[in-house]
Chains A and B, each alone.
Chain A
């Protein structure tokens, strides 16, 4: 079943390493196979990664966009998650970070990114509006 994306006029997204921008009208895109896609509202810039949770999102976002599950960018993501754990008291949030870590370990970077997004909504709702 294809993934259907409704695009706003001028909306930018990244699709498998290409930056694509919609035209002046609303548009609909159907993705017929599995691909790495990230919409403009979910793209974070490095200067927006100022806190442990946004740094974790940024690190996982880079892994997702590159499609790399191993290597030095994994180390960056693991360190960012370690900082996020350290910034939280024992409890549900740490469990949520471990779930993100497990998703990364399984190579499910899209799900891990969604987990980070949920944490940003919970921990820094204002940052979510501005950044992702």
Chain B
């Protein structure tokens, strides 16, 4: 009877290994289908490599990659984008507000 444990270990190692960087579309497809390893590296051009190193892991990486793809498509959209309309006033993050208040007082 063969021992399957080394094979399991190799499989587990391969899932967390970084591997070669993959493209934006490929990475999104792999993450969405659950086929991406936590060590996935995404080539965004000019030496930029995105990784699942944020607090939300692969879900966070997927959010950032989809956002970047949306912006890339928007930028290629031509002149008609001005119809988006005015943006709302910027929201202030609860953890940032005390910092800005303290800076304001110190000025």
**Residues of A in contact with B (beta carbons under 8 Å apart):** 12, 14, 17, 19, 21, 40, 43, 45-46, 49, 52, 55, 58-59, 62, 65-66, 68-71, 73-76, 78-83, 85-87, 89-90, 94-95, 97-99, 101-108
Q: Count A-B contacts at CB 8 Å.
A: 134
Going nearest first, the 10 A-B pairs with the smallest beta carbon separation are: A70-B60, A86-B81, A19-B102, A78-B67, A69-B54, A70-B56, A105-B64, A70-B54, A94-B75, A86-B84
- B100 engages A85 (CB within 8 Å): no
In angstroms, how far is the closest chain A Cβ from the Cβ of B22?
14
In angstroms, how far is the closest chain B Cβ from the Cβ of A38?
9
- B87 engages A52 (CB within 8 Å): yes
CB closest residue in chain A, given B78: A90
CB closest residue in chain A, given B102: A19
- B55 engages A85 (CB within 8 Å): no
CB closest residue in chain A, given B45: A102
CA distance A132 to B95 in the complex (A): 21
Choose one: A58, A98, A106; the contact of B49 (CB below 8 Å): A106
**Residues of B in contact with A (beta carbons under 8 Å apart):** 42, 44-46, 48-51, 53-56, 59-61, 63-65, 67-68, 70-72, 74-76, 78-79, 81-82, 84, 87, 89-93, 95-96, 99-100, 102-104, 106-107
Choose one: A59, A98, A107; the contact of B75 (CB below 8 Å): A98
CA distance A52 to B81 in the complex (A): 13
Q: Given A52-B87, A55-B87, A83-B87, do A105 and B82 touch, yes or no (CB 8 Å)?
A: no
- B100 engages A106 (CB within 8 Å): no
- A102 engages B48 (CB within 8 Å): yes
- A49 engages B81 (CB within 8 Å): no
- A66 engages B93 (CB within 8 Å): yes
